Structure 1
Amino acid sequence: MYRLFLFTGFVVFYMAVVSNAATIVKIVNGNDADIEEFPWQVSVQVNDNGYWESHCGGVIIDKNWVLTAAHCTFSSVTRTRERFRVLAGSSLYSQLNVTRYVKDIYVHKNFQKPEVLDNDIMLIELKKPLIFGSTINKISLDGDISKNRTGELCKVSGWGNTNGTKDELNKLDRLQEASVQIINPDSCIKVYQQVYSVLANTKVCVQGEEKSSCGGDSGGGLICRDVDGSTEKLVGLVSTGFGCDAKVPSIYSKVSAYLDWITTTMDKKGKNGKNNTKDKKNNKNNRDNKNRKDNKDNKNDRDNPNRKDKKNKKNKNQ
């Protein structure tokens, strides 16, 4: 009975953690923000029931690519690329005026669902590139996995909810931002000890002061500045948390741990397509050049005997 009670407690706790990772809840107790401050922020929408709805946040990392959480594919239906689209370009959710449909989605091959949300990261390749400006732009990726960022103050953003409930009536139209702090991983282990015995180096433990991110912000970015304050970098992606209580730390995916996967996937899936097109064009040009050369050589071969024969005929007549 004792073992059964412990197992049941684990299931209830875990299901609460996972279910909260996919709810349509937003930044809690945040401040109004301008998209010019967070031009990389996008809304990742899904169409499961014949209409589009906001499901996750996302981060622009290239004109053709958006980074988000892999668990955004969770659904009772299979979410293929056709079920996703990305909206960008405004501080107001109702006025997001730039829409991009999805060419393909790339979920990390080692993503564990719904066990512990390990490797909770996904790349979205857009069908049409974004045009960068003051309201749409990319964010640099943090590439230093060895750097200890404990104690750093960072920011998260998303389209908000005022009270941390699932009630869509409390959803704010205005983009929200909140300041949070990266804290010692042990703080997360204490809360999530029935899920994690050790917090892997692929995760970041984050907590705010009366402010927090929630499930609907999943895939949104944890943005931190360098020590000198000059450069903002994408350090984490909102992954999971227990409710929307700012007093309870949340877990983010550490971007620097996936830098190789991100760059390799973008190079292999995105740039190769362009290169293949270029290669085909080059091959065609090479074939055309060869054909032209062969034709010229053949013409010369035909001309030469004729010229020789004419010369011989002339000599014979003489």
Structure 2
Amino acid sequence: MVNPGQSNTYACGGGIISKRYVMTAGHCSFGDTFQVITGRIDVHGYHLTDLVNVNRVVKPTDYASLGFDYDDIAIFELAKDVEEVPDYIQYLDIGLNAPPVNQPLTIAGFGQLANAQDTSKAHFGTIHVSPDDQCHFSSYQPSKAFCSATAEVYSCPGDSGTPIVVKPAGATRWVSVGIDSYGHEGPCGNKEYDSIIAKVASMIDFIRDNTLLAPPNFVNLNFASNGAVTGSTAAPVAGHQDPHPDNCWTCPPGYVHWWEAGLSTYTDPCGCVAGVATTTSSPTTPTTTTSSPATPTTTSSSVSHPTNCWTCPAGYVHWWEAGLSSSSDPCGCVVQSATANCPSGWTKHNNYCYKLFTSTVSTYYDSRQACKNQGGNLASITSLELNNWVNSFVSTNCAEFWIGGSRSSNTEAFKWDDGNSFTFTNFDSNEPKSSNNFVSFIHGTQFGTVGKWRAITNLYKKPFLCERSPQ
């Protein structure tokens, strides 16, 4: 990886785990902006076409307070897809099992050589897992990491973030079991000290939760006493990777279930969206369980909606029953009940809770993470009525704030933070500009027309509006 904020300096290594994500060490993510060099074994020989911008960096929420003895990992979300290229770019699979003591592992990196000499070329070698009681670091956490030492190979400055891998018998891909974290403070290559490797198997939930856009492949590993490794692809885990009920009703003509349309999440567990199916990942015929279609709804509403929708699953109500004015799914169900309350400090509107955070200004991605930490998302403004309410709800001394719209590039469509496409827009004149991909709400004339939106860069630090479901 290259850090343009530090004079295009080479910072750390990392592994491409899917077309949109790179996995590296958490302590490699301190800086202003980053780029990733792909498909090169010589960092001085790259072309501009090999550079990929980083849209977002995610670390565990407690990383700053606990330090890199705990979950030393970061996920870099790339600004564009990086496709596999034979002999040049190959995705790493993610190992679900930690390697045992004495297991041989492969390391490859661009770090310094033993004489502290910098090198631009990748070097490869084999390391072994050391027993915990032979680790020379007082802060070492065996549940989060493992030690490694050999007589010939060791990690050095510049190797941080480098994936530690194995290749199961018969497999075409390497599997990451560790991330190079840190070593002894002293001359590079001191063989009396181990290197600390962050244990990938202890961070699986974090990886799954932060790679929904393009999930990596997870592999169950078996380690033999002679060092041989076998592996099998793991089944999807409930709550991650395209989770959905298996007893949903059939969608109306012209609509498909959200997972069939290739979406990773949706507010309605059985929701339908306009379009044509691109995947076939689960039954669409009703079953006889209590949450499957029962009788058509007879709820009256002044809002136009189908009159033959099925009853929602327990804990869900139809969008019009929740007070919403529209939905991309004509029979859609939403999670909150009409009688639920908002947490203290939040304001309820149309059965959603809203809160404007002004005490801390943040970039778009930091704002989005802050909203997720509150159990919600950056706000989705899906109607003119909601837009006008937000404009009146926000105090006059807040000139501009983040809402949840963004796009991965100027050739892509905008989507809300919850994964839904825009069905309503309110951009100011001459907006959105082609070079900007993150949506803010204008509330001061110095930025444009009050009540309208504009697209700006992620790096601006602004107040932000979160939305969440009532409790």
- Shorter-chain TM-score: which interval? 0.5 to 0.7
Residue matched to 2:106: 155
Residue matched to 1:91: 41
For structure 1, list consecutive stretches of 5 or more residues without a partner in the other structure.
1-43, 288-318
User: How big is the shift at 1:122?
Assistant: 0.5
Distance, in Å, in 2 between the alignment partners of 1:118 and 1:55 is 21
- Is the aligned partner of 1:218 residue 2:160? yes
Q: Which moved more, 1:242-251 or 1:128-137?
A: 242-251
Distance, in Å, in 1 between the alignment partners of 2:152 and 2:118 is 18
Aligned residues: 225
Distance, in Å, in 1 between the alignment partners of 2:59 and 2:195 is 22
Counterpart among 54, 67, 74 of residue 122 in structure 1:
74
84 and 99 in structure 1: CA distance in 2 versus 1, 3 angstrom threshold: same
2:209 is paired with a residue of what secondary structure? helix
Distance, in Å, in 2 between the alignment partners of 1:252 and 1:53 is 24
Deviations 1:163-187 (A, max 9, x none): 342xxxx322221112111111111
- Is the aligned partner of 1:65 residue 2:21? yes
Residue matched to 1:141: 94
Residue matched to 2:200: 255
Give the structure with the higher percent helix. Answer: 1
User: How big is the shift at 1:274?
Assistant: 5.0
Does the 8 Å contact 2:34/2:53 carry over to 1? yes
Measured on the aligned residues, the alpha-carbon RMSD in Å equals 2.9
Does the 8 Å contact 1:139/1:233 carry over to 2? yes
275 and 180 in structure 1: CA distance in 2 versus 1, 3 angstrom threshold: closer
47 and 254 in structure 1: CA distance in 2 versus 1, 3 angstrom threshold: same
- Is the aligned partner of 1:175 residue 2:122? yes
Does the 8 Å contact 2:114/2:156 carry over to 1? no
280 and 53 in structure 1: CA distance in 2 versus 1, 3 angstrom threshold: farther
Distance, in Å, in 2 between the alignment partners of 1:52 and 1:213 is 23
User: How big is the shift at 1:117?
Assistant: 3.0
130 and 209 in structure 1: CA distance in 2 versus 1, 3 angstrom threshold: same
Residue matched to 2:56: 104
For structure 2, list consecutive stretches of 5 or more residues without a partner in the other structure.
216-240, 243-261, 276-326, 332-471
Distance, in Å, in 2 between the alignment partners of 1:160 and 1:253 is 17
- Is the aligned partner of 1:55 residue 2:11? yes
Q: Which has the higher contact order (CA 8 A, sep 6+)?
A: 1
111 and 285 in structure 1: CA distance in 2 versus 1, 3 angstrom threshold: closer
Distance, in Å, in 2 between the alignment partners of 1:264 and 1:103 is 17
How high is the TM-score relative to the length of structure 1? 0.63
Does the 8 Å contact 1:155/1:177 carry over to 2? yes
Identity rate, percent: 22
User: How big is the shift at 1:240?
Assistant: 0.9
Deviations 1:286-305 (A, max 9, x none): 69xxxxxxxxxxxxxxxxxx
200 and 215 in structure 1: CA distance in 2 versus 1, 3 angstrom threshold: same
> Which amino acid letter does the alignment assign opposite residue 149 of structure 1?
P
Distance, in Å, in 1 between the alignment partners of 2:142 and 2:9 is 33
Distance, in Å, in 2 between the alignment partners of 1:155 and 1:269 is 26
Does the 8 Å contact 1:180/1:209 carry over to 2? no
2:72 is paired with a residue of what secondary structure? coil
Distance, in Å, in 2 between the alignment partners of 1:133 and 1:172 is 25
Does the 8 Å contact 2:54/2:78 carry over to 1? yes
> Which amino acid letter does the alignment assign opposite residue 97 of structure 2?
D
Does the 8 Å contact 2:144/2:199 carry over to 1? yes
Does the 8 Å contact 2:55/2:79 carry over to 1? yes
Q: Which is greater in Rg?
A: 1
Distance, in Å, in 1 between the alignment partners of 2:166 and 2:73 is 19
Distance, in Å, in 1 between the alignment partners of 2:115 and 2:66 is 23
Distance, in Å, in 2 between the alignment partners of 1:67 and 1:268 is 14
207 and 125 in structure 1: CA distance in 2 versus 1, 3 angstrom threshold: same
Does the 8 Å contact 1:182/1:204 carry over to 2? yes
How high is the TM-score relative to the length of structure 2? 0.43
2:120 is paired with a residue of what secondary structure? strand
114 and 47 in structure 1: CA distance in 2 versus 1, 3 angstrom threshold: farther
> Which amino acid letter does the alignment assign opposite residue 176 of structure 1?
H
Does the 8 Å contact 2:25/2:72 carry over to 1? yes
Distance, in Å, in 2 between the alignment partners of 1:285 and 1:267 is 22
Does the 8 Å contact 2:161/2:180 carry over to 1? yes
